[in-house]
Amino acid sequence: EVQLVESGGGLVQPGRSLKLSCVASGFTFNNYWMTWIRQAPGKGLEWVASITNTGGSTYYPDSVKGRFTISRDNAKSTLYLQMNSLRSEDTATYYCTRVTIITTVVFDYWGQGVMVTVSS
């Protein structure tokens, strides 16, 4: 059974940093691209960052580029999201997702999510 378990969320002040982790199990982690997606309270879904299966390439939208860094440790089957210079608009539930193995970016498994609150 595929499982994605996020951790590392919490309350953080604006301008500070936070690092999220996602431990994967039930599949061969190093065969899959992975992605972080977030959802602000009561709002829709927003793509945050993606990483190839080897970790050799990463992708970000403009809203987080230069502040967030996605990385992975295939030996530990763990995905990370380093978030720096946090803003109130980064407040959201962050989901770790697996990208399905087809020719485009579709998310076939999602973790339960971890809440990040940016507030003074």
CB of 42 to other proteins, least distance (A): 10
Q: Which stretch binds other proteins (CB under 8 A): 12-20, 41-49, 71-79, 83-91?
A: 41-49
Nearer of residues 6 and 86 to other proteins, judged by Cβ: 6
Q: Out of 105, 115, 117, 119, which residue is the one contacting other proteins (CB under 8 A)?
A: 105
Write the burial class of residue 83 (CB in 10 Å: 0-12 exposed, 13-18 middle, 19+ buried): buried
d(CA 101, CA 88): 34
Among 7-15, 16-24, 39-47, 75-83, which window interacts with other proteins (CB under 8 A)?
39-47
Beta bridge partners of 39: 45, 93
Of 33 and 80, CB closest to other proteins:
33
CB 64 within 8 Å of CB 48: yes
| 75 scored as a contact of other proteins (CB under 8 A) | no
In the complex, the smallest distance separating the C-beta of residue 47 from other proteins, rounded to whole angstroms, is 5
C-beta of residue 7 within 8 angstroms of C-beta of residue 21: yes
Do 4 and 110 form a contact (C-beta atoms < 8 A)? yes
Q: How far is the CB of 59 from other proteins (least distance, A)?
A: 8
Report helix, strand or coil for 90: helix
Question: Which residues sit at the interface with other proteins, rule CB under 8 A?
Answer: 44-47, 61-62, 95, 100, 102, 104-108, 110-113
